Structure 1
Amino acid sequence: MKDVALLEIQKYQEANAERWAPRLRPGAPSGNLPLLLRMDRDSPDGLLFKDQDFSSDLLKQLNGLRQNGVLTDVSICVGAWEVPCHRSVLASSSPYFRAMFCSNFRESHEAKVQLKGINPEALDQMVLYVYTGEAHITAQNVLPLLEAASMLQYPKLFEACSSYLQGQLAPSNCLGMIRLSEILSCESLKKKAKQMALTYFPEVAASADLKELCALELRDYLGDDGLCGEEEKVFEALMVWVKHDLQARRRYMQELFKLVRLQYIHPAFFHHFIANDALLQSSPSCQTILETAKRQMFSLYGTTSVADLHPPLHAPPRTSYQDFLILLGGRKDNQQTTRDVLIYSGQTRQWQSLTKLPIRLYKAAAVALHRSIYVLGGMVVGTGKSVPSHNVYIFSLKLNQWSPVQPMLVARYSHRSIAHKNYIFSIGGIGEGQEVLGSMERYDSVCNIWESMASMPVGVLHPAVAVKDQRLYLFGGEDIMQNPVRLIQVYHISRNTWFKMETRMIKNVCAPAVVLGERIVIVGGYTRRILAYDPQSNKFAKCADMKDRRMHHGAAVMGDKLYVTGGRRLTTNCTIEDSAAFDCYDPQTDSWTSQGQLPHRLFDHACLSVQCIPHACP
């Protein structure tokens, strides 16, 4: 390539030798070339010169010509408003104008071209953008400018207007922005506005724009899996929309009511605010949905078959719900009973502190029910005299606060409690006379009342407890002499009856149990062993062992995995150490992985899993 270039230069020099002759050195042969033009064949290729300012300077010159009316050959008009321009500049800047001026349209030779549907001020800004590459976007001109950019095919200006609008998005206007973006086919604005509408549902539901949605728009909005709102709020938003124009909207009520995922509504809210709503009762089809939901929510007997269920009761929780672990109470590093409440996000993998327990409680029981946490009984410590408590406290994740509810019938600690449907069962423990209790009582969370149930066959302490298929299972535990009890005690919930089974497989003490898939998993208990019990076949299977012999630990299921927290471990030299371990068991691979450490060593604590919307948590 270099050689070709040099040959071309030599030809040019020879052709112009006479013109250069006076510049030759005196005495030099006339055929010699100037020293300036002698080139080494090894020199680099020629120079590519770029004038970085040329384009912008050219635009400035063209804009000056336009402003002075020099060489302009067309006027763009909106009504009586005229803007002189250069046809070639417009055609070069937009496919719209290129088609207009470079085809056989009559506008290609007209001196004035009328544009319809464009604001005059927007036209001025548009032409200024064409000649300078700049446009001043304001709250007053952004919408007409967006429309003009869309019509006249200026995509970068269109996106600039979209970005401006995205910066002005708020829960009060995002529904209107969605509608605007659909009219103008602005996907970037639509995506951002929809994300805001889904994320800030409670605020959006309170806006005037929600009442103005058509039935189709409301259906798409309330039916979205990503809606970050509790189902109670979804129901309230629907009813506000219907009542805004009852005569016209009543006919959409059945279709839209199906979008409310009733199985995730707090039963007390359903009972008091939905079940007897006069408007819903006036619709036979809505009544059918209500009756099905009632049977499913309030029947302890499991009489509703899958075939009887209305489709909405099969709907999954919205994807905005996330898994959280809650750790309550227990004993910390210094082995003092703590009031701490910790929450762990499975999404962020971070621990945070919540409002502390109202009082210091030793070996209380705790359950999660309807996105709330209940703490029951326990030994009250730090008040001079330690006494068993019959008090019950409820914790609202949404409000981050504790409130008392109806106390238990019997004061107890070292007991077990478990939730099923709308009920909480409190079982056994140690009573006020330090006796081992065999009694059981049941709390109705909707009516806020306790009642006594049938007592267990054998009173035990610290059994592993789980509920599966209308039955409550107690595995093992210890007697008053702290000897392991090799029993499975089963309570039939609908019949209020117990029976027991002896088994050599059970020898757990101070161990939790969880339901993982179709099996009940008993996690450790002075052993590394993990046992999975199948209630259908009444058989046990061994799972992968934990790393340490563990007891007084917590366990809960998040998603499809088992998480184990803290506890006490038996070392190789038979000493007992408090632990801050945080481990995960995956049943798919039958393996354990460490999740790091708890914020501190902890044992005899409650470990629970809850699903809620992040913004509904502190």
Structure 2
Amino acid sequence: MDDTVTENSLCESNDQKEVIPFEKCEQKTYKNSSYMVGVFGVLQSLRKDKVLCDIRIETDDGTIIFGHKIVLISASTYFCEHFTGFNESNIDHIIIRELDSNALQLLMNYIYTGEIIITEVNVKILLAAANLLQLDYVKNVCAEFLQTRLDASNCLGIKAFADFYGCMELSTSSQTYIKNREVVDTDEFLSLSSVEVIKLISCNDIFVPLEEKIFECVINWLKYGIDSRKDFLPELMEHVRLPLISKQYLLEKVVDETLLKTSPKCKDYINEALQFHLLNYLQPFTVSNTIRSTPRQSIGFQKVILLLCYSQKTSSVVYWFDNIWQPAPKMSKCYNYGCLGVIKEQFVLAMGGFHLGSKKQLVEMLDVSSQSPCWIPMMDMLVSRRAFGVGSLDNRIYAIGGSDGANRLNSVEVFDINTNRWQMVTCMFTKRSSHGVGVLENLLYVVGGFDGHEYLNSVECYFPCLDTWIRVAAMSEYRLGCGVLVLDGVLYAIGGKNKSGCLKSVEAYTRSSGVWTSIADMHFCRQYFGIVILNGLLHVIGGYDNKKVVLNSIEIYNSKTNTWSLKTLSKDVGNGKWLHACLLRGVLMVLEYSKTSYMWYLNSVECYDSCLNTWTSVATMSECRRGCGVEVMDNVLYVIGDKNESGCLKSVEAYTLSSGI
């Protein structure tokens, strides 16, 4: 039944002919759901036929649209204010300036039907018109539509558009998108105002692969309208962090830029950068940071895991995890007993290891921000190392301890990406190899290992500002080949092995307590596995057990519940007994190797995606390595030293996504 019926508040009794109170009467309310649709459908037909219309709305181009005041007043505060005043109540014709006639026609249809058609062509003019006519629903759905269409080519324009019309949610989404994408070299950037450019390039967490890109885009923006923009040069260059630009680029491109030669202030900025590079070369540990020499801290990037894997193949396998496991670029050499390291979540270093029986201090670097990633040989380490520890602190890579093939080492060297130089620092107290390294509260912790005679449970802590080591509380378990990582201010020592065999136990350490405490065990005993933090969870990847059986699983630790969960590792990934993993902005990268009766040294790299649990390969290294060090810095992956068939390596390779080699 479509009619709505409401009984009277007072009812008469048929039997007693007396008035019955309302609350004692049976009542039921009916609502005709199609009533308003029908009524407004008729009103829309009347409007189109210009029947009973009492207002004509004219736009700048002369288009006239008819309507009914009472309908427009009920839908829009704008029309209500225009038609309810004493002087305006009798008008039958208004002109609305700067209102697109097509947008007005669509909005009039919306007022009468509740439906609006939004396209990529009309969305901005619709939002602007809805903002003027105070039709909030249409304005909001237009903003939602734009939010779903954000990409690198339009996000700057959408951000400015959202700010102008007060679309706060769209503005926030656009700003987040801008920070997570490289947008400074898009066509939209050239059309920004000086205020918008300064706001963008002064942002500390804007995504740029290198500071050189900021410099290039500022110069391009100036030259796009040089006559009207040249006066903004000093103010713009104030926000370009010239000290972070490579020395070679600085001398070849920046110093010779004609625009900068005309500005005394810009010359000061160039001198500041040159002085920074000089001091960083002569006294790398004493250079004070200013805002222009402080790396940008990009946030919100998708986390990726890189695994460098060694197995019974002729090349090192590198995988990275970016929604799926996929092969990463192959390294130029095969590594054995090397390590991975990460700097600035961009640069990955694979370090050390043996190669073809030679004792070389190899290092390779991978820049994951590049469009065509590749491995690049870097400056060799000063000491040949394998089975050593790697830590990244203050955008420097530390190669700690290890073995040169004959003796355990307590020496430590540090790599500076800005100078591509290694420098020795103070030695540890204890010679050790196959140990773990973690960074807790800007201090380096070296955990466990093997001194050539005994398994170790000792822990040492390095203060970089003082170039000093101290001993801290020992673990309850002796551990070789354990995993060490920091999560939420807690240092974890995981698995490994000792005289009792392979371990699944885990210990945790905080500076405030100064002691190690046991937490939940893993599901399986394992050693020489990859370990990373991904999405706030600790991931233990691969490795092998007491029987030297390779484990094709990932164990995931939730510190809030103190529990471990299991995931299956791809059958093509993690087959090696030795794994190195690192997490960077773009991908999970894994380095894998194994020790068999016939030793093979690998140079392949693969990448893993945690959501889909899949792997892909990336560029191979130039050297095959086992037990090398791997670290990431500024979106470049570095592979450092270790061992292959030739012996210990000191060579270094670097990988960049842009070149793919």
Q: Same fold (TM over 0.5)?
A: yes
Deviations for 1:127-186, whole angstroms, at most 9, x for unmatched residues? 222111123334444343333222121111222333333344432233233333333333
Matched to 1:393, the amino acid is E
Q: Within 5 A, what are the aligned runs for 1:480-495?
A: none
Which of 542, 547, 568 does residue 472 from structure 2 map onto? 542
Q: Quick check: 1:96 aligned with 2:45?
A: no
Where do 1:367-516 residues align within 5 Å?
371-380=346-355, 386-389=357-360, 391-398=362-369, 399-405=372-378, 430=404, 471-477=425-431, 508=432, 510-512=434-436, 516=440
Choose between structure 1 and 2 for higher RCO, CA contacts under 8 A separated by at least 6 residues: 2
State the 1:575 CA deviation: 3.3
Question: Could you tell me which amino acid in structure 1 is paired with residue 364 of structure 2?
Answer: Y
Q: Over residues 81-137 of structure 1, what are the superposed CA-to-partner deviations in whole Å (9 max), with x where a residue is unaligned?
A: 3333222111111111112222223x3102222322223333322222211112333
CA distance in 1, matches of 2:410, 2:43: 95
The 10-residue stretch of structure 1 (437-446 or 214-223) with the greater mean CA deviation from structure 2:
437-446
Q: Secondary structure at the match of 2:218?
A: helix
Could you say which structure has the higher strand fraction?
2
Matched, 1:84 2:66: yes
- 2: distance between equivalents of 1:172 and 1:408? 42
Deviation, structure 1 residue 273: 3.9
Would the alpha carbon gap of residues 587 and 246 (structure 1) be closer, same or farther in structure 2, given more than 3 Å must change? farther
Amino acid at match of 2:355: V
> Does residue 1:288 correspond to 2:268, yes or no?
yes
Which residue of 2 is the match for residue 254 of structure 1?
Answer: 234
Measure the CA separation in 2 of the matches of 1:7 and 1:323: 67
Greater mean deviation of Cα atoms: 207-216 or 222-231: 222-231
Q: Which amino acid aligns with 2:140?
A: E
Shift in alpha-carbon separation, 1:396–1:242, aligned structure 2, 3 A: same
SS in 2 for 1:522: strand
* CA positional deviation for 1:531: 3.4
Q: 2:154 maps to which residue? A: 173
1:233 to 2:213 alignment = yes
1:223 aligns with 2:224: no
Secondary structure at 1:206 match in 2: coil
Cα displacement string for residues 349-401 of structure 1 (whole angstroms, at most 9, x for unaligned residues)? x98763454444333466556743444553236xxxx4434654333334443
Aligned counterpart for 2:335 among listed residues 348, 361, 366 = 361
Q: What is the total number of aligned residue pairs between the two structures? A: 523
Q: Contact 2:335 / 2:627 at 8 angstroms: preserved in 1?
A: no
- State whether structure 2 residue 137 is matched by structure 1 residue 208: no
Query: Cα distance, 1:56 vs. partner?
Result: 1.2
CA–CA distance in 2 between the matches of 1:303 and 1:388?
A: 28
Tell whether the 8 Å contact from 1:322 to 1:614 is kept in structure 2 after alignment. no
Counterpart of 1:117 in 2: which secondary structure?
Answer: coil
Q: Note closer, same or farther for the CA distance 1:126–1:291 as it changes in structure 2 (3 Å cut).
A: same
- CA distance in 1 between counterparts of 2:142 and 2:21 reads 56
Gaps of 5+ in 2: 1-6, 450-454, 521-537, 545-576, 579-625, 638-655
Secondary structure (helix, strand or coil) at the match of 2:52 reads: coil
Q: Residue 428 of structure 1 contacts residue 437 of structure 1 at CA under 8 Å; is this kept in 2? A: yes
1:47 Cα deviation from its structure 2 partner: 0.9
Partner of residue 99, structure 2: 118
Question: Following the alignment from structure 2 to structure 1, what is the Cα–Cα distance between the partners of residues 145 and 295?
Answer: 38
SS of the aligned residue for 1:361 comes to strand
Please state whether the residue corresponding to 1:529 is helix, strand or coil.
strand
Counterpart residue identity of residue 549, structure 1: Y
Structure 1 unaligned regions, length at least 5: 15-30, 454-466, 478-507
Q: Secondary structure at the match of 1:530?
A: strand
Aligned partners of 1:415 and 1:430 also within 8 Å? no
Residue type of the partner of 1:251?
D
Structure 1 residues 323, 59: CA separation in 2 closer, same or farther (over 3 Å shift)?
Answer: closer
Of all paired residues, the percent bearing the same amino acid is 22
What letter corresponds to residue 158 of structure 2 in structure 1? Answer: M
CA root-mean-square deviation: 4.8
8 Å contact from structure 2 (residues 143, 170) kept in 1 = yes
**1-side partners of 2:172 and 2:130: how far apart?**
19
Q: Is structure 2 residue 40 aligned with structure 1 residue 59? A: yes
CA distance in 1, matches of 2:264, 2:285: 20
Q: Is the 8 A contact 1:65 1:71 kept in 2?
A: yes
- Correspondences of 1:289-328 after superposition (within 5 Å): 289-298=269-278, 299-302=280-283, 310-314=290-294, 317-320=297-300, 328=308
What is the match of residue 541 of structure 2?
Answer: 598
2:131 to 128, 147, 150: 150
Is the counterpart of residue 50 in structure 1 residue 31 in structure 2? yes
Classify the secondary structure of the residue corresponding to 1:524: strand
Secondary structure of 2:297's match?
coil
SS at match of 2:11: helix
Counterpart of 2:430 in structure 1: which amino acid?
G
Deviations 1:250-274 (A, max 9, x none): 3322322232344654555445544
Secondary structure of the 2:91 match is coil
One-letter amino acid of the counterpart of residue 67, structure 1: K
| Residue in structure 1 matched with residue 446 of structure 2 by the alignment | 522
After TM superposition, give the deviation of residue 49 of structure 1 in Å.
1.5
> AA paired with 2:429?
F
Distance 1:423 1:195, change over 3 A: closer
Q: Look up the SS of the partner of 1:194 in the other structure.
A: helix
SS in 1 for 2:72: helix
Secondary structure at the aligned position of 2:460 is classed as: strand
Residue aligning to 1:8: 10
1:411 Cα deviation from its structure 2 partner: 7.0
SS of match in other structure, 2:426 = strand
Task: Tell me if the contact between 2:366 and 2:635 (Cα under 8 Å) persists in the aligned partners.
Answer: no
Higher helix content, 1 or 2:
1
Cα pair 1:280 1:286 within 8 Å, conserved: yes
Residues 432-491 of structure 1: CA distance to partner in whole angstroms, max 9, x if unpaired? xx68999999999778799xx9xxxxxxxxxxxxx7xxx4334321xxxxxxxxxxxxxx
Q: 1:519 to 1:404 in 2, by over 3 A?
A: closer
Native 8 Å contact 2:349 2:364 kept in 1: yes
